[in-house]
Chains A and B, each alone.
Chain A
Amino acid sequence: MFAYIIKRLLYAVPIALAVTLVAFLLVHIAPGDALNAIAPADAPAETIAALKAAYGLDRPLPVQYGLWLGRALQGDLGASIASGRSVTSEVMAAVGNTLSLAGVAAVIGVLAGCVLGGIAGYRHGGWVDRIATFISVIGVSVPHYWLGLVLTIVFSITLGWLPAMGAGPEGGWFLDGAHLPYIVLPALTMAVVPMGILTRTVRAVVVDILAQDFVQALRAKGLGNRRIFRHVAKNAAPTVLAVAGLQLGYLMGGSILIETVFAWPGTGFLLNTAIFQRDLPLLQGTLLVLCLFFVLLNLLVDIAQPFIDPRMRRT
């Protein structure tokens, strides 16, 4: 197992490198100028040239990338061109906020998806199945931006129950009384996609498992539905875990739209700003950290799976 973990961690290195290289090239291929982050639109040519020299943007692209990579390997992601603040501190603050949001959204999405999918699988072909499938299709298809606005209009403006935006006061635990109201609406909005995907996955897996011979055998042995459900759940768990892990990874990337609608200061919000300002160090740093998170989450899922399904240990 230890060798497996090391091998997987080593795989993360080329993935992270590729992500940063692609991000670097995309920013340079895109029209516009990295100096738009700091130079006014009508800055004269000599100001632009002086700034390019000051930020090393006048050097050849491979040199720029190499220098950034050299610093990143030493744990220094540089400073944002726009704000001058450390990219590491900017990204970590945003990751903390997105982690809170993604965590709550994942819990809601996975729980709702498992329950709905499980019921639909057990009631395969019936009206309950159709309703659950309909909900899952809605979950996957509904535009986030629209849903966020509708939820805000209903719960913040009409009913006045929840705040319309922001992450709450500074400091404190994200689920304490002062912060909890702020996370409800963005988390619900964010949870609909994993909920939809999980519902469909769980439904398909449950239907498949229920049709297998061993379930018939269990029934023939006289096991009750509750004990059979335990076997079904155990068999479904690895697939559900793999899909849930992927979904959490996607959620960690933050949703630019959701974080914008709710002015949630997470990674999506940060990426949005970095992209529009062509703030290359911030963009690269954020993508690198998110990529590492994604790889780490998948690794954790892979490590957890053999503990849930002993058959995977043999393979």
Chain B
Amino acid sequence: MLSLRKRLLPWLALAPIALAASTGAWAETVARYGISMADIPLTTGQPDRGAGAYQFTGHTLYDPLIAWESNIGDRPGKLIAGLATEWKPDAKDPKKWLFTLRQGVKFHDGSAFDADAVIWNLEKVLNEKAPQFDAKQSAQVRPRIPSIASYRKVNATTVEITTKEPDALFPYQLPWFLIGSPAQWEKMGKDWNKVASQPSGTGPFKLDKLVPRERAELVRNADYWDKARVAKTDRIVLLPIPDAVTRGNALLNGQVDIIETPAPDMVPQLQAGGFKIVKNVTPHVWPYHFSTYPGSPWTDIRVRKAANLAVDRSAIVQLLNGLGQPAKGQVDATSPWFGKPSFDIKYDLKTAKALMAEAGYSPQKPLKAKVIIAQGGTGQMLSLPMNEFVQQSLAEVGIQVEFEVVELENLYLHWRSGAKGDINASKGITAINLGYVTADPFYGITRFVNSKYVAPNGVNWGGYADKEVDAKIEQLSTTFDVPTQNKLLADIHQKMVDDALMLWVVHDVNPHAISPKVKEFIQAQHWFQDLTTIRM
């Protein structure tokens, strides 16, 4: 008879294997994500800190009625069904939109999503008298949904939203409007600050932990209604690391697995260390927005075109270590809204000099212009050297640019005031350098060229007014067919480029650096990224 020890020995030998197998089966997958913000964006429903924040505490915790397809990277996304399965304008009154709501969806707290929840959320950001009104959330989303005039519940699964005027592009506004749980707000004593640490949406992640300015931990929502978008990683830890070099160091050191916007100078080091740089076409452009008011040096189209031809954009991309893409217009050339402009934006010094000579200027007899720029924060990490590069390039063709350098927050004041505003006109400022998000037709194109939006009514900064463009925008507002919409937008964009409305320099590529531990990450051609695609 074998001794007890001998009988147990084979089983004991198997124990480490069994333990390893069980550990493998139960081990939680964690992705640590170094984000470029100084704090975790608002978690209550409408994130602050710009478009880039929606991927972290917006579309992770919450869903919109209409979503943006963000889990594909090889083509631009499109509007897709979110918490609304169908939306259409009323055949009799194009200002009225009917939304059929998805059934059977529950918030993270277990309460049901229905028409009442949608109305409650609209009241939260649009009705100052509603008890749940939150000024902070309202400030974030109100400018994103400017068309909404009124709303009402039709039945438990249908909501009607009326726009101020017919607006066929209205659905593009809705991915910004996220739906949170009314029941959770009640449970948290109607206190938005308490909701911030225990939010409840319908999104693919739930918030497990929030340490302000230090971390937010999102855990997979296994019961997510869209089974195709159930998160591939159990837990995502968001760590605010505002300094780009520190983010890169944290990645090299193994403290994080993925970072956004690595410092351009660190790209070779990261690549040499086996880290992957992921980038894609991104709806963002870094231009000089010209004033076309009388008296501005940019009123002459030859000067505007010469400026666009004077800049060697590939050299700027080289300066950025490849983290940029030469711009040929407001949107990327692959966008369905790009059109077929006759003015080909490229580096052509000879033509640029000829155009300037025709306009009566040369490096010896330069045209003088004042451009307002920020010392940083305009969407490009090397904005100052890039501005100096542009300044030298323009000097070569006879445009002598003087910079008015201000802090970013101050630059926004100058932007909102428009070129004609005293704040700019009194200083002779005739162009402004800012980064523009071009994710949707309104934000990317029409607001810059619609004469109704001449500043201070909007951000048509330079006072551009063109009857043909205005007519197309008018036509666009009542065109509900997407291919026709795209054609109209392409026509408008084409006109913008042919008129050289801005000096377009580079498009951002929204770079990320990822550790070899990250097996999959799909970078969408958008600011909205889908964190459910991260697989460790």
Contacts and interface: CB of A to CB of B under 8 A. Distances in A.
Contacts of A47: 138-139, 142-143
B407 A31 contact: yes
B50 interface: yes
A42 B144 CA distance: 10
Contacts of A36: 409, 412
B239 A38 contact: no
Contacts of A43: 139, 142-143
B406 interface: yes
B181 interface: no
Interface stretch (A101-109, A112-120, A270-278, A302-310): A270-278
B246 A263 contact: yes
Contacts of B79: none
A214 interface: no
A165 B250 contact: yes
B465 interface: no
Contacts of B240: 263
A31 B414 CA distance: 10
Contacts of B42: 83
A102 to B, nearest CB: 18
A265 B214 contact: yes
Interface string A17-57: 00000000000001111011011111111010011001100
A260 B243 contact: yes
Contact of A40 (B38, B139, B211, B410): B139
A276 B213 contact: no
A27 to B, nearest CB: 11
B86 interface: no
Contacts of A39: 139
A31 B241 CA distance: 26
A273 B413 CA distance: 19
Interface in B213-239: 213-215, 239
Contact of A156 (B38, B253, B413, B416): B253
Interface residues of A, number: 51
Contacts of A265: 213-214
A289 interface: no
Given A36-B412, A163-B255, A170 B246 contact: no
A84 interface: yes
A164 B253 contact: yes
Interface in A110-166: 149, 152-153, 156-157, 160, 163-166
A54 B415 contact: no
A273 B140 CA distance: 19
Contacts, number: 134
Interface string A45-73: 10100110011000000000000000000
A41 B246 CA distance: 27
A260 B242 contact: yes
A315 to B, nearest CB: 46
B264 interface: no
Contact of B143 (A30, A40, A86, A165): A40
B69 interface: no
Contact of A32 (B212, B253, B407, B415): B407
Given A157-B253, A263-B246, A273 B213 contact: yes
A114 B143 CA distance: 59
A85 interface: yes
A202 interface: no
Contacts of A40: 50, 139-140, 143-144
Interface in A264-314: 265, 269-270, 272-273, 276, 278
B242 A166 contact: no
A187 interface: no
A276 B143 contact: no
A57 to B, nearest CB: 11
B246 A164 contact: yes
A45 B409 CA distance: 16
B48 interface: yes
Q: Report which residue of B140, B213, B215 has the largest number of chain A beta carbons within 10 angstroms of its beta carbon.
A: B213
Contacts of B290: none
Nearest to B214: A265
7 contacts: A31-B409, A36-B409, A38-B139, A44-B143, A83-B196, A90-B213, A263-B241
Given A43-B142, A263-B239, 7 more contacts: A31-B406, A40-B139, A40-B143, A83-B196, A84-B136, A263-B246, A263-B250
